[in-house]
Structure 1
Amino acid sequence: MTSFRDLIVWKKSMLLVTTIYKLTNKLPEEEKFGLVSQIKRSAVSVPSNIAEGYGRNYRKDYSGFLQISRGSLYECQTQLEIAQNLSFLKSEDLNEIKNLSIEVEKMLNSLIKRLEQSA
């Protein structure tokens, strides 16, 4: 691999961000600076931290950034559930995102585990 752009987990997390940006357009305007902002920020943090960690010279640093990315993913998942609980989003609107976020979560877990085992 020559770039973080070659990582499937990065590509999937970028797709997740794009999908979330489209979905959050359905949320109420009054949530623009509240929940919508939080969801977008946490979603963007996932591929951003994958990329930043990839650019580090040490496996321990890379693993740490992947863990931050995973934390941001969990934060985003929680915020989307809050939006659903508040009836801002329907469960059918979230199905694609839930499946994609679980896929990204599994990939992050696997990559973190591989890095920690090779240390």
Structure 2
Amino acid sequence: MNAVLIVCAVVLAIASLAVSVPKLRLQGTVWSSLRSRGLVENQVRMIGAAEVTGGVGLLIGLFVWPIGAAAAAGLLLLGLAATGFHVKHGDYGNPDTRATSLPAVYFAVLAAVTLVLFLVVR
């Protein structure tokens, strides 16, 4: 197994698990921001659950590569959806919200790199 794949998968898993906590608990600025934009409790919790599932899947995928590839693909889709959500709400053009929106792009890029590594390194 490639060391770069391991590092990318672990970093993405940690990031995924870390961002899921406020969504699952419906606390903090993430919850208030998403609620103010029309998302309801169940939608936000489902996003958090998808992030947890993807993070755990990446860690399992280090031993069973198809699960890791599927988890990376799912997190890529989630990152792209989050980026699209921020684009829709004009967050990247607003200096006040840009800094909190850019991690969605970084998340998507890291998920894409991890997916490619899972597919190439197996």
**What TM-score, normalized to structure 2?**
0.62
Identical amino acids, percent of aligned pairs: 4
Q: Distance in 1 between matches of 2:96 and 2:44?
A: 15
Counterpart position of 1:118: 121
Counterpart position of 1:74: 80
Q: Distance in 2 between matches of 1:48 and 1:75?
A: 16
Runs of at least 5 residues in structure 2 that lack an aligned partner in the other structure: 4-8
Q: Would you say the 8 A contact 1:70–1:105 is kept in 2?
A: yes
Cα displacement string for residues 41-83 of structure 1 (whole angstroms, at most 9, x for unaligned residues): 335523431212422542122101210111112122223333x
Counterpart position of 1:98: 101
CA drift of 1:32 comes to 4.7
- From 36, 41, 46, give the equivalent of 1:41: 46
CA drift of 1:115 comes to 1.3
Letter of the structure 2 residue corresponding to residue 72 of structure 1: L
Q: 1:70 to 1:106 in 2, by over 3 A?
A: same
- From 9, 12, 15, give the equivalent of 2:15: 12
Count residues in correspondence. Answer: 109
Q: Distance in 2 between matches of 1:43 and 1:94?
A: 21
Counterpart position of 2:64: 58
Q: Would you say the 8 A contact 1:73–1:105 is kept in 2?
A: yes
**What TM-score, normalized to structure 1?**
0.63
Letter of the structure 1 residue corresponding to residue 111 of structure 2: L
Q: Would you say the 8 A contact 1:16–1:100 is kept in 2?
A: no
